[in-house]
Structure formats: structure tokens, C-alpha cells
A and B are shown apart, each in its own frame.
Chain A
Amino acid sequence: MAVRVRGEVLIGGAAEGPLFRMAKPISFWGGVDPRTGFVSDPRHPDHGKSVSGTVLALSETIGSSSSSAVMLELLAVGLAPCALLLGRPDAILTLGVVVARELGVGSIPVLRLPVETIPWEGQANIYEDGEISFAG
């Protein structure tokens, strides 16, 4: 059964992909390998999973301010998530998307919504107007 919610559009766009709701906040720098797209921090509960092509849901981002650069690089090499769902406004990961758009190397939708409303798994569809549907 599909669940529909609405997010605040930080960066507009449409996308579709498998949901990846992270169990804990992460620093992309030191936490996600820009050469592979995999979670590389061995202390993170999602260590070893790939963010590439997923609708990635994060309650918040922590740690290094270099995470913007990791996000841009993931977009430039085609290993980025296909959308970001963020529990808090963020000008670090999202700024990586803004710069990617300025450089013309791609963009993904970024939406803000309460992460508790997001299922742990399934498929997500993101629409231009901020509507999101989750299907098990």
C-alpha cells in the first residue's frame, strides 16, 4: 500500500528509487567513499551499504564540512543518491547539489520532511511539487 506525504522542496526535481533511511546521522566526508558510493565508516550501522541510486533519508548530517565536496563528486561521477530526504535544513550536502547544478554536472531533488514519517524500506517516488509516495 502506498503512503503519500509532502516535503518542503529545497531543490526541485522528480526521482524514483529504493529507499535508504539511515539508522544514524552521518558525515559524508569520512563516511561515504566518493569513489564507490558505499558507506565507509566502520562504526556507522549502515557500513557497507551503497547510497548510489537510492532515495536517501537522513535525520541530520554531522561532522565534516567537506561533505559538500563528497556530494558534488558523487554527482559528477554518477554515484550519487537519486534524491535526498532531510529531517533538517542543511547547507552542506544540499550545497554540493547546488554547485553541481552550477557546473552542469547534474542535480537531484532534495526535500525536507520529518524523517519519522519515512518507512525503513521500499520504493519511493518523488514528484516536482514535493509530493512523495512510498510503496512497500
Chain B
Amino acid sequence: MELSAYERSVAGGAAGAASAMALRIVAEAGRLLGASRLIDIKSVHVDGCLYHGDSGVHFVERLVADGGYVRVPTTLNVGALDLLHPERVRGDAHFRVMARRLMDAHLSLGCAQSFTCTPYQAGHRPGLGEHVAWGESNAVAFANSVLGARTNRCGDFLDICAGISGRAPYCGLHLDGSRHASAVVRTSRLSRALKDTDAFYPVLGAWLGAAFGETVAVIDDLPVGLSDDRLKAVAAGAASSGAIGLFHIAGVTPEAPTVESACGGRPPDVEIDLTPEMIRQARDRLSTVDSNRIDAVAVGSPHFSREEFAVLTGLARGKKFIVPFYVCTGRGVVSDLEQNGDRRILEEAGVILVADTCVVVAPILPESGGVLMTNSAKFAHYGPANTGFDVVYGSLDDCVASAVSGQVSRDETLWR
């Protein structure tokens, strides 16, 4: 691990104590990852403003006290509080104070007040081949796969240190050779109707992550022109059941004009032909309980987009939910919903908007527990451990129908 003369001077304190600590931590990460050097980065997405304990707050406040400030455009992932609706999140005074201090400390370092896990749907879209340093597993997978930007999965602390130093370890997914697929997943045996269903994509992602861990795969035979929302569902599913930082979809994502080019011209190590049975099993693994009754619905992991809200508003118009129906999103989208009037339609049906945070990272769901229905593979994965709720996976249509009746209502036809 070679530091440049400039980097050595920063690490030694020439640019202040915060820059020195940030550069030392980035360099340590580089050493751990076997990087030969550091690389300049264009932007950062910081996952570290979610409160996990006082130690993380003390770390970021140390950077502030030592004069730290980000050197590149830096967005923030969710915090542990909904600053637009403070009553949403339960928690004692200590929790609230520390969670707020962590969010504020990041703002003091010059990070943008985005508080969303979908920065790529809030204007932060690095270009093809751009080196960046992003945290939040779904955002990492989206940036690499869909945008063709280059980032490793930056853990908490590395992300903000990359922002302050403007550097990241030059290794892993920053390198050409690491971005080629070594696995090919064929989907020609799955029906076109299934592939035209939103609920297929979280399941495909969850299967991919469970099957491949962190192996780069290319998926073939999917419809061209897949929406960002379907691609983000694949990214989020794959990055929660596994450690997928990059996947390719032939003819869809920018580094995969064809299966062969995605593989870098080499034969793949493994080829898998997905069957309807494999997809059905992957879907079933997203549910932890065989229940007829639900106690709540939660969608919006990753954060619900404007387009997803347009669909939900259409489905919810004139309906009355008898269980709480949480939708997590970014504050930019909330502002749009207020301007176009959809917020009123959604709230009349019983939707509870959650901004700046989400229901699996903060205590928002009813303390009574029970069964949570979701259309998100990521909520399905993390919900049981983080909220105590059992989960049932279904499509957005299923979630709306079930919220009206309080009974699980799922359209099974596509999955057969």
C-alpha cells in the first residue's frame, strides 16, 4: 500500500486533524483490502448517519471538532429519526438526542440533507466509469450495476472518511477485471408475464444474493428497458440476502451489452437456468410465517419513488385500510406528494408516510408485533430480526388488498 507524498502529508496532519484521521482510516481500509494505492473519488454516499450506539456519534463529532469537511459532493442515507414527522419514531430521550446529534454532525461536515437510501432517485447519479465511494448496500449495487459507476461496498466510517479525504482504496470493483461476470443466469424458462410483474424483481434479487454471495453474475433474457424501480428491487434483494455489489443484466445495464461482453470474453465458471420452481422457493423464503391475518403493511425499502407512489395512489384511492400501512421515502418525494395532492389521497386511505428513515432501522411499527406484509425483499430479510414482526411477502397489489381486509390476499397465478 503506497501513499503519495501528498497523502502522506495529509495523514501526518498537514490538512488538520480530521483529514489526518480520515486519511489514516481510508489507508487502513486499503491495506485490509490489499489495495496498492488510493484513488480520487468524485462523490460519496454516507450510510453512517443511522444511530447504532453512542460510539458512532462520538466518532463523527470528533471529525467535526477536529475541523472536518467533505471535499466532494456527499449525500446522506437514512437517519434513525423522521425529522418531518417527529412523532413517528418511538424512543427515549437519550436515543432521540443521540440520533439527532449524529444526523446534525454529518450536516456540519458538509453532507447534503438527503436522508435517503435511494440517492440515485434524488439527483445523485454518478456517470459510467466514475469512481465514487458509496455506502448502503442497495445504493452500492445500484451505482455499480445500473449506473456503471465504480464503488466498493463502503462500510460505515469508511464512507465519511472517503468524503473528507476525497480518496478511496483502489481495489475490488474499481478495477476493470473485478467487474466481469463469472456466472451466467438464464431466465428463458420463466414466463414473460412473471417478468412483467414488479413483484418478480425483489425475488430475483433475493435469489441472486443467496445463490452467489458476492460473485458478479450476468442475468440474461430479461425485458429491455427495465425501470429503475425494478432494477433497485433486484439490487436491494441481492445486497440483503448476499453481498452483491455488482450484477449485470444483458441488454439492460451499461456494462453488459451482451452476456459475452459482461463476462469479459471468458467462459463463465457457472451457468444456471432459473426455473419457476426456484423462483417460487425464493419467494417463499421471504415469508417467515404462514398466516391468514396481517397486523401492518410496510413498503418503501429502498425508499419509494415518485413512480411507485403514482401506482400506490391509484390503488389506494377511495380505499380504507384497517391496518397501518407504512410507506418509507425521502423528504424530496414527500414534498412532491404535498404539491400534487397525492399525500391527501394516500392519508385518507390510511397510509402513514415515513421520511428520512425507515421502519426496519427505527422503532416505528406498533410495539405489539404481529405479522407484517411487504413487497420488499429487504424488509422481508431484515424485518424479523429488527422489528420482531413475522413477515409475509406479496406484490404491492397484494399489500393493498390485504390492508383493506386485514387478511392475507395474494394473487398466486403468476408464481405457479
Residue on B nearest A63 in the bound complex, by CB = B240
A interface secondary structure, majority: loop
Q: Is B217 an interface residue (CB 8 A)?
A: no
List B contacts of A30 (CB < 8 A).
Answer: 360, 381-382, 385-386
Chain B: interface size category: 35 or more
Known A73-B56, A89-B34: A63·B239 in contact at CB below 8 Å: yes
List B contacts of A76 (CB < 8 A).
Answer: 53-55
List B contacts of A69 (CB < 8 A).
Answer: 48, 50, 52-53, 55-56, 155-157
Q: Is B194 an interface residue (CB 8 A)?
A: no
Could you give, for residues 18-53 of chain B, a 1 whenever the CB lies within 8 Å of some chain A CB and a 0 otherwise?
A: 000100110011001110000000000001101011
Max chain B C-beta neighbours (<10 A), residue from A29, A64, A103 = A64
Q: A79-121: which residues lie under 8 A (CB-CB) from chain B?
A: 89-96, 98-100, 102-103, 105
Could you give, for residues 42-82 of chain A, a 1 whenever the CB lies within 8 Å of some chain B CB and a 0 otherwise?
A: 11000000000000000011111111111011011100000
Select the stretch in B134-142, B218-226, B291-299, B328-336 that faces chain A.
B134-142
List B contacts of A89 (CB < 8 A).
Answer: 32-34
Task: Say whether A95 contacts B288, CB under 8 Å.
Answer: no
Task: Say whether B53 contacts A10, CB under 8 Å.
Answer: no
Q: Is A18 an interface residue (CB 8 A)?
A: no
Q: Is A41 an interface residue (CB 8 A)?
A: yes
Known A41-B385, A63-B137, A95-B157: A77·B32 in contact at CB below 8 Å: no
Expressed in whole angstroms, the Cα–Cα distance for A95 and B21 within the complex equals: 13
Task: Say whether A99 contacts B59, CB under 8 Å.
Answer: yes
CB distance from A73 to the nearest CB of B (A): 3
Expressed in whole angstroms, the Cα–Cα distance for A63 and B238 within the complex equals: 9
CB distance from B259 to the nearest CB of A (A): 26
Residue on A nearest B55 in the bound complex, by CB = A76
Task: Say whether A105 contacts B52, CB under 8 Å.
Answer: no
CB distance from B330 to the nearest CB of A (A): 18
Expressed in whole angstroms, the Cα–Cα distance for A76 and B29 within the complex equals: 20
Q: Is B213 an interface residue (CB 8 A)?
A: yes
Expressed in whole angstroms, the Cα–Cα distance for A60 and B243 within the complex equals: 9
List B contacts of A64 (CB < 8 A).
Answer: 137, 240, 382
Task: Say whether B240 contacts A68, CB under 8 Å.
Answer: no
List A contacts of B384 (CB < 8 A).
Answer: 41-43
Task: Say whether B137 contacts A91, CB under 8 Å.
Answer: no
Task: Say whether B158 contacts A95, CB under 8 Å.
Answer: yes
Residue on B nearest A11 in the bound complex, by CB = B32
Task: Say whether A95 contacts B242, CB under 8 Å.
Answer: no
Task: Say whether A40 contacts B385, CB under 8 Å.
Answer: yes
> In the complex, which of the residues B28, B58, B243 contacts A63, with contact meaning CB atoms closer than 8 Å?
B243
Expressed in whole angstroms, the Cα–Cα distance for A93 and B243 within the complex equals: 13
Task: Say whether B32 contacts A90, CB under 8 Å.
Answer: yes
Max chain B C-beta neighbours (<10 A), residue from A96, A100, A102 = A102
Q: Is A25 an interface residue (CB 8 A)?
A: yes
Q: Is A37 an interface residue (CB 8 A)?
A: no
Q: Is B154 an interface residue (CB 8 A)?
A: yes
Interface size on A, residues (CB 8 A): 42
CB distance from B47 to the nearest CB of A (A): 5
Expressed in whole angstroms, the Cα–Cα distance for A43 and B33 within the complex equals: 29
Could you give, for residues 8-37 of chain A, a 1 whenever the CB lies within 8 Å of some chain B CB and a 0 otherwise?
A: 001000000000000001010111001100
Q: B146-164: which residues lie under 8 A (CB-CB) from chain A?
A: 152-159
List B contacts of A35 (CB < 8 A).
Answer: 53
Could you give, for residues 200-214 of chain B, a 1 whenever the CB lies within 8 Å of some chain A CB and a 0 otherwise?
A: 000000000100011
List B contacts of A27 (CB < 8 A).
Answer: 240
List A contacts of B29 (CB < 8 A).
Answer: 91, 95, 98
List A contacts of B140 (CB < 8 A).
Answer: 65
Q: Is B62 an interface residue (CB 8 A)?
A: yes
List A contacts of B68 (CB < 8 A).
Answer: none
Expressed in whole angstroms, the Cα–Cα distance for A62 and B208 within the complex equals: 13
Known A65-B156, A94-B32: A34·B213 in contact at CB below 8 Å: no
Which residues of B are in contact with A by a Cβ distance under 8 Å? 21, 24-25, 28-29, 32-34, 47-48, 50, 52-56, 58-59, 62, 135-137, 140, 152-159, 169, 209, 213-214, 239-243, 288, 360, 381-382, 384-386
Q: 16 A-B contacts, Cβ less than 8 Å apart?
A: A30-B385, A64-B382, A65-B47, A65-B154, A68-B156, A68-B157, A72-B157, A73-B53, A73-B55, A76-B55, A89-B32, A91-B33, A95-B157, A95-B158, A99-B25, A100-B55
Which residues of A are in contact with B by a Cβ distance under 8 Å? 10, 25, 27, 29-31, 34-35, 40-43, 60-70, 72-73, 75-77, 89-96, 98-100, 102-103, 105
